[in-house]
Structures are given as C-alpha cells and as structure tokens.
Chain A
Amino acid sequence: MSSNFLAWIVLIPLISSAFLGLLYLYSIKFKKVANSVFTFFAILAPISSFIIGLIFFISLANGATDYMYEPYTWLGVNGYIISMGFLGDKLSIFMVLFVTFIGSMIHIYASEYMKDDEGYGKFFSYFNLFMASMLLLVLANSPIIMFIGWEGVGLCSYLLIGFYFEEPLNVIAGNKAFIVNRVGDFGFIVGLVTMFFYMGKLGFDYYALQDYVSLVPTPVLTIIGISLFIGAMGKSAQIPLYVWLPDAMAGPTPVSALIHAATMVTAGVYMVARFHFLYDLIPNVGLFIAYIGAFSALFAAIIAMRQTDIKKILAYSTISQLGYMFIAVGLGAYSTGLFHVFTHAFFKALLFMSAGAIIIALHHEQNIFKMGGLRKRLPLIYTVMLIATLSISGMPPFAGFFSKDEILLKAYIHHEYLIYAIGLLTASLTAYYMFRLFFITFEGKNYTNKKIEPLGWSIKAPLVILAFGAGFAGFIGLPEVTGATNLIDDWLKVWSGSSLHVEHSQEIIFMSISVIAGLMGIGVAYVKFFKYDFNQEVKYSGIIYNKFYIDELYDAVFVKGLQKLSVFIAVVVDDGIIDKTVMSLSNGFINLGRRVGRMQSANTRAYAFFMLVGISSFSLYLILKLG
C-alpha cells in the first residue's frame, strides 16, 4: 500500500462532499435528483475511507513502519517550511478505523432518518465534509494541518447544528457552538503560535517536534500545553466550555450521533494523545487536565440526573464520559483514554441512534416523561438500548466496563485518590441517570399508548451492528487479571504511558467496587422509576434541572457584559469621541473652506494680483535678506 493513499482517505469524503453539494444545487435549481443517488455517493465515501484505513491497519499490524506522505509544500518562508502532509501511524490509523466505521453506520442510519427532509442532499454534503475534516484532523502530520481539520470540524458542527435553520433557536444553538468553539480555538491558536515560535525551526511535523521538545524550557511548554488544552476544552466540551454541547441537540439526531460518537468531541482527546511527547514533560498540566476531566464528569452527571429531554441526557452523559477520557490522558495513560474513546464511540452512537429511532417512532417526541412502556412495542430498540445502557453504566462484560474500570484503576495507581473517588461516584451516578432514562422510556405504568411509526431496515441494521460493538468492543482491552493480552495497549504501545502494575487480587477488588457502584446506581433507578406512574406531575424546576444556571451565568457575565461593552464602545467611544473628533475636524475644514472660498471670486485679475503680491513680498524678503 503506497503511502499516498493516506491522502485518499481524506480526499474521498471531501470530493464526495463537493460533488453532493453541486448535485444538490442542481437538484433544487433544475431537475429533482432522486434521494437514492445522494444516498449511494454519501455512503460510498466513508465506506471507501474505511476500507483504505483497514488496508493500512493490516499493513501496520504486519509490522510496516509509519506511513508518511507529503504531497507538496504548503508554505515555505525563510527556512520555516510547512508541508501538506499525512501521517499514518498506529494512533491515527486506529482513529481512522473507528471514525470511518461509526461514521459509515451513522450515514446508513441517516439515509433513512432524513429521508423526508428537503435538504437531503445538503445534509449529506455537510456530513461528508464533516468526515473529511475529522479525517484530516486525525491524519495530519503537523499541528497546522491538524488545525485545518480542527476548524473544518467546527464549521461543519455549526452547519449541522443549525441545519433546521427556519427555527431561530436552532440558529442560536449553532452560533453558540461556533462561538464557544472559537474561544477554545483561540487557545489552540495561541498554543500553535507559541509552539511554532519556539520549535518551528526544524520542520513542524510531529517527528521534528518530538525531537525538539526537550530543548524548550518548561515554562514555555506549560503555556503551550495549557493553551492547546483550552482548544481541547472547546472541542471536547469540558468545563468551562461545555455549554455548547447540550444545545447542539438542536440538530438532527444523526448529527448528534456523529458529533458525540465518531468525530469532533474526541478531537480534544486525540489531540492530547497526539502531543503526548509534550504532555509527558509537563505532568502538572496533565494533572490539571485530569482534574478538569474529573469535575466535568461529575458535574455533567449531576445535571443529567434531572433532565427530561432524552437527547439532552445523552449530551450530558457525553460530557461526563469525555471527562473520563481526560482523566486518563491527563494522567499519561493515553492508550487507556483512547480505549474509552473507542468503546464510547460504539455505545454512544448506539444510544443516540436508538434515541433517534424512538424519537422518529413517536413522531418527534423528545420528552422522556411522555414516552413510557415502549418495551413491548419497540423490542429491537429495547434490546440494543439495554446493551448500550449497560455498557455506559460499566457493567461487565460490556465494552464500557473495561475501559472505565481501567481509567479508575489508572487514577488509583497514580495515587490520585480524589480523582478516583469522583470517578467512582460519577460511575454510580451514570448508572443511575442512564437507567432512569431507560426505565422511564421503556417501562412504567399508566403511560399513554401512542401510535408507533414503523422503522426501516437502514435504521435497524446499524443499530444491530453497533450493538455487537457496544457489547464486545471491550474485549480488545482486557485487563491483566484475565490473563489475556491487552490488545489496545499493545497496539498503542508508545501511548500507554508508565507501566505501573497492581496485584491481581487488588485489581479484582477494584473491579468489584466499580461494579457495585454501578449496581447501586441501577438499583436506585429501579426502585424509583421501574414502576413510574406517568399520571403524576413532572417537576420541571430546581437548580439541577436548570443546569446550575450556568447558561444564565455565562449569559449574564459574558454575553451581557460583551453587549454592555459593545454598547459602551458604540455609543460613548465611537459616537462620542471618535465620531465627534472626526466630524469636528471635517466641519472645521468645511467652515475654513467657506471662508477661503470667498477668495475664489472668479475674478481673474484678482488672482493675478494675489500672485503679484506674493512675488513682491518674496522679493521684499530677498532684498532685506540679501541686501
């Protein structure tokens, strides 16, 4: 496999996106193009990328060295050279594999979900562009190329969140996502520029940076590390930049699945793992990341406990799970974090797509308190949702158990007991709120029987495939106690961090503790919600329901503050000072012109006389001066 096929992984979705966009324009301007045409090309792109990725994967597994492809020099100024380049190492191909796989599943699912939408072709054009941006982000060989993908992902999320743009609230949600991401991106740019300034001399790809990083003083590295992490906060929705993610539910459900499972939010985790050589040198920043992750996990889990919108609950669970990932990468256990990224992609995609299926089946009803009793009527969804819920709750032997348990274990090994405690508490809360969602949706009594829309095979098939993933994806990262090799640690050896070991008996104890914590959460949810009476009044209030008023706080501090500042600048500074100065200056000239204009009498002789007076006075001056 020649390395230039790396570029095709990115190019195929990109070309497909452009093609679909043009086809869509043709479709609305001239002749209607059948949906099946769009579907064919839209699904072909991620699957082709997946197949190419798979070939690279096999080749790497057979011991090939990292693939590097630099088609051309993008920028070359005075020795600073930035090449357009692609890097296919174990990490990026690993990311490519599951991004394209989950992406393909979501594409297939979306082909049915969106079938009645007018913007069908536009939707898939955006979708493929999203895939292309994410793949560019993953496959880039230098931070600057990564940044192209990074921004592309932000753009696509904006386009897709605001996809139903007739509704102003959706547009606001899209703007919010974009603006909050801009805040994060600013941090990323600061980090990028600082890095370029200090390390850009010997080429700017990851290899060169890795060689150069030890020569840079630690304070600079700290600044770079924190700045880059601010970018990750924005993309991966961590405290304090998480506010866009729940609002991002305004987009169509497949978009939520794509953002939360395969792309975008995992970009932050990937970025930190990609810069492992940098973060390895600054463990304090790593610890900061881990704590941010831990608090995000807990905070989002608490908010999720009281939400009523099925998609919002899942959105907060994403923030919470991303918190886990940041705990892992912050503590230097990158492979563990990426393992959780991997399992999370499966069960979160599954959860979102199931939620989408329920929403479709119930004619766009998103409030879980208006569902209930769906077990009998949607048995397939019930089954796959159960698998996904057990998986996210960390129940063995489902995928989430292995990855989450390993993260908690890593926290304990690194003697970060507070993080461990928060993680454990969050695990329990996760089990609680997920089963609250599950029981209210599928069980309960006195629910109203609504008419169910039948679901097509292209919704069901991806669900079943992903259900297998959510069930068994964990087996690639079996813990040591089982005696099997941890395939993912093996594959991402460079990123597995310091290998601290615990005794097997201790490991089993920790496993049991997390299972018990999860079971407690499930138990409480069972008691409270298994026989939930839908006739009772639903409480839509309280501090947790209102998300701790964080949105309102941000609104009051940042949005209102900025508005006040803008008004101040517009009214006082602009009108009062700048305009006044400029206007008085121009008025002064106008008045001067009026006065002087009287001299323009159109009397030619007067002009000549003025000239003569000038010459005379100058002569007089010369006479007096020269004698």
Chain B
Amino acid sequence: MIEASFMSYISLSILLFSLGIVGLISRKNIFIIYMSLELMLNAINLMLVTLSKYFADIDGQIIAMMVMAIAASEAAVFLSLIVAMFRLKKSANIDDYNTLKQKGTL
C-alpha cells in the first residue's frame, strides 16, 4: 500500500503540471489550451496546499485562494477573448490566430 506521504502529493502535482504543459503545447484547440492552463494552475494550487500542510502554515492556502481568484478573472477575460477571436476567424485553431505574423520584409 502506498503511503499518502508528502512526496506522493508533490509527485501528483508535478505530474499534473507536466500534463498541463504537454496539453498546452501539443494541442491546437484553443479551448483545450485554456483548460491545460487551468490544469497547470490547479497543479500549482495542489502543491501550495501540500506545502501549507507540510509547514503547518496557513499562508499557502491563502495564496492558493488568490490563485483561484486570478484564475476566475483570467477565465472571464480569456473566454471573452476567445469569443471575440472566434467571431473574427470562425475557427478554434490557435494556428489561425496569427495576426502578429511578420508580413514581407523590413
């Protein structure tokens, strides 16, 4: 039986974070990219809470709460951006969002 030790939580957090990065870079679907970002935030939150317990310090949980608040505001802005971009490009493919591409030569 695996002991639910400090390291097991940390390992889970690192794994989730890595999965988030993998999803972020490998996928082209803008929604999945967004969810990967959220997954990374969640992984970090888990780590913060684990460390909060480890050090018996409540500040870790407060930071996790702040991260959630930021994630909420991010969700609002990000989703409105997606709505605006989707209206413009009629596509959920991040590779189509290339307005900043250098055109021609200098």
Chain B nearest Cβ from A161, distance in angstroms = 54
A597, B106: Cα distance in complex, Å: 9
Does A31 belong to the interface (CB within 8 Å)?
Answer: no
A609 and B95 alpha carbons, distance in the complex (Å):
14
B7 at the binding interface (Cβ < 8 Å): no
CB atoms of A603 and B105 under 8 A apart? no
Chain A residues with CB under 8 Å of B94's CB are 604-605
Cα distance, A593 to B102, chains bound together (Å):
11
Cα A609 to Cα B99 in complex, Å, equals: 19
CB distance from A438 to the nearest CB of B (A): 78
In chain A, positions 553-603 with a C-beta closer than 8 Å to chain B are: 590, 593-594, 597-598, 600-603
Q: Would A590 and B106 count as touching, CB distance under 8 A?
A: yes
**1/0 contact string of B92-106 vs chain A (CB within 8 Å):** 001101111110011
Flag if A601 contacts B106 (CB, 8 Å).
no
Q: Is the CB of B105 within 8 A of A594?
A: yes
Q: How many inter-chain residue pairs (CB < 8 Å) link A and B?
A: 33
| Pairwise interchain contact A605-B95, C-beta atoms closer than 8 A | yes
By the criterion CB–CB under 8 Å, are B97 and A593 in contact?
Answer: no
Check if B44 is an interface residue, CB within 8 A of chain A: no
- Please, how many angstroms separate the alpha-carbon atoms of A497 and B21 in the complex? 98
CB distance from A590 to the nearest CB of B (A): 6
Say yes or no: A603 contacts B24, CB within 8 Å. no
Chain A residues with a Cβ closer than 8 Å to the other chain, count? 14
Q: Kindly state whether residue A612 has any CB partner on chain B within 8 Å.
A: yes
CB contacts under 8 Å to A, within B29-71, are none
**A598→B106 CA distance, assembly (Å):** 12
Interface string of B12-23 (1 = CB under 8 A from A): 000000000100
- The range of chain B's interface size is 10 to 19
Nearest CB in chain B: distance from A600 CB, A: 5
Most chain B CB inside 10 Å of its own CB: which residue of A590, A600, A601, A605:
A605
For the complex, is B25 an interface residue (Cβ under 8 Å from A)?
yes
User: Contacts A608-B24, A608-B25, A612-B21; is A603 near B98 (CB within 8 Å)?
Assistant: yes
Q: Which residues of the partner chain A approach B97 to less than 8 Å between Cβ atoms?
A: 602, 604
Instruction: Let me know if B25 and A594 touch, CB within 8 A.
Output: no
Question: Is the Cβ of B100 less than 8 Å from the Cβ of A600?
Answer: yes
Task: Please measure, in the bound complex, the distance between the C-alpha atom of A593 and the C-alpha atom of B99, giving whole angstroms.
Answer: 19
Give chain B residues whose Cβ lies under 8 Å from the Cβ of A598.
Answer: 102
Question: Which of A590, A593, A602, A609 counts the most B-chain CB atoms under 10 A from its CB?
Answer: A602
A382 to B102, CA, bound (A): 89
Contact B25 A597 (CB under 8 A): no
Residues of chain B lying within 8 A (CB to CB) of residue A604: 94-95, 97
Looking across the interface, which residue of chain A has its beta carbon closest to that of B21? A612
**Can you list 30 A-B contacts (CB < 8 A)?**
A590-B106, A593-B106, A594-B105, A594-B106, A597-B102, A597-B106, A598-B102, A600-B101, A600-B102, A601-B98, A601-B101, A602-B97, A602-B98, A602-B99, A602-B100, A602-B102, A603-B95, A603-B98, A604-B94, A604-B95, A604-B97, A605-B25, A605-B26, A605-B28, A605-B94, A608-B24, A608-B25, A609-B25, A612-B21, A612-B25
State the Cβ distance, B16 to closest chain A Cβ, in Å: 16
Q: How far is the CB of B74 from chain A (nearest CB, A)?
A: 16
Query: In the complex, A410 Cα to B100 Cα: how many Å?
Result: 90
Contacts of B99 in A (CB 8 A): 602
CA distance A609 to B25 in the complex (A): 7
Between B97, B98, B101, B102, the greatest number of chain A beta carbons within 10 A of the residue's beta carbon is seen for: B102
The complex places the Cα of A486 from the Cα of B105 at a distance, in Å, of: 90
Contacts of B105 in A (CB 8 A): 594
- How far apart are the CA atoms of A602 and B101 in the complex, in Å? 5
CA distance A605 to B94 in the complex (A): 8
Bound CA span A604–B34, Å: 13
Nearest chain A CB to B103 CB, angstrom units = 10
Cα A121 to Cα B24 in complex, Å, equals: 82
* Residue of chain B at shortest CB distance from A609: B25
Nearest A residue to B99 via CB reads A602
Which B residues touch A600, using CB under 8 A?
Answer: 100-102
User: With a CB–CB cut-off of 8 A, which chain B residues contact A601?
Assistant: 98, 101
Q: How far is the CB of A334 from chain B (nearest CB, A)?
A: 72
Nearest CB of chain B from residue A595's CB, rounded to whole Å: 11
